[in-house]
C-alpha cells in the first residue's frame, strides 16, 4: 500500500462526514468519503485505502456487511476498520463487530482526540504491516533467484 493511502469515512449523514473529516484533519492524511456501503466497497476495491471509518447502520448495505465482504478478500482482509454507532452500547453488535475483526467500535458523537489517537496508531500499524509484507516478497524473490542461479551456472 502506498504511503499516501487514504482514510475512507463512510456515513449516510453529511454533517457526520464533515465532523469526522474535521476531527482527522490535524493528522494530515488524505481522506475520502462515501455515503453508503456500496460506494464504500467500490472505493476500497479500487485500492489505496489504509483505514476505514464506517457507520454501522446505513440504508442498503450495513457497515457490518461491508466488513464481512472486506474480510473475505485477500487484498482487503487486513484493512483496519473502526465502526461508528449512534445507538449506544449494544452487546450483540460489539460481539459481532469484534468477531469480524473490527479494530474498534466507537459511539457517536466521537471525541475528536480519541478518534485521532486511534486512527493514528491503526493507520501507522497497517502501513508498517504493508511495508513488511513487501519486504518479505522481495526477500523471497531474491532467495528464489539465488536458488535458481547455481542450477543455471552448473555445466551440462
Report the length, in residues, of the chain. Answer: 156
- Per residue in 94-108, pLDDT (tens digit) is 999 999 999 999 999
1: pLDDT strictly greater than 60: no
> Could you tell me which residues come within 8 angstroms of residue 139 by beta carbon, excluding any fewer than 6 positions away?
none
Mean pLDDT for 39-49 is: 92
Mean pLDDT for 55-61 is: 91
Q: What is the pLDDT of residue 151?
A: 64
- Per residue in 128-141, pLDDT (tens digit) is 888 888 899 889 88
Taking the whole predicted model, whether its pTM rises above 0.75 is answered as yes
The pLDDT-based confidence of 47 (bands split at 50, 70, 90) is confident
Determine the Cα–Cα distance for residues 140 and 26; give it in Å rounded to an integer: 38
59: pLDDT strictly greater than 60: yes
Range among 58-62, 63-67, 145-149 with highest mean pLDDT value: 63-67
- Per residue in 2-26, pLDDT (tens digit) is 457 899 999 999 999 999 999 999 9
Task: Find the helix packing angle between 91-99 and 63-72, rounded to 10°.
Answer: 20
Name the average pLDDT for the chain: 89
Q: What is the pLDDT of residue 2?
A: 43
Distance from chain centroid for Cα 76: 7
The pLDDT-based confidence of 154 (bands split at 50, 70, 90) is low
Amino acid at each position: 500500500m502506498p504511503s499516501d493511502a487514504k482514510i475512507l469515512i463512510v456515513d449516510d449523514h453529511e454533517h457526520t462526514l464533515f465532523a469526522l473529516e474535521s476531527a482527522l484533519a490535524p493528522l494530515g492524511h488524505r481522506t475520502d468519503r462515501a455515503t453508503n456501503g456500496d460506494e464504500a466497497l467500490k472505493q476500497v476495491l479500487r485500492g489505496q485505502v489504509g483505514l476505514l471509518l464506517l457507520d454501522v447502520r446505513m440504508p442498503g448495505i450495513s457497515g457490518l456487511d461491508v466488513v464481512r465482504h472486506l474480510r473475505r478478500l485477500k487484498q482487503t482482509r487486513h484493512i483496519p476498520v473502526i465502526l461508528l454507532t449512534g445507538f449506544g452500547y449494544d452487546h450483540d453488535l460489539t460481539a459481532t463487530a469484534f468477531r469480524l475483526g473490527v479494530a474498534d467500535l466507537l459511539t457517536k458523537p466521537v471525541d475528536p482526540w480519541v478518534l485521532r489517537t486511534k486512527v493514528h496508531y491503526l493507520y501507522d500499524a497497517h502501513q508498517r504491516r504493508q511495508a513488511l509484507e513487501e519486504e518479505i516478497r522481495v526477500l523471497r524473490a531474491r532467495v528464489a533467484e539465488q536458488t535458481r542461479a547455481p542450477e543455471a551456472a552448473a555445466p551440462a
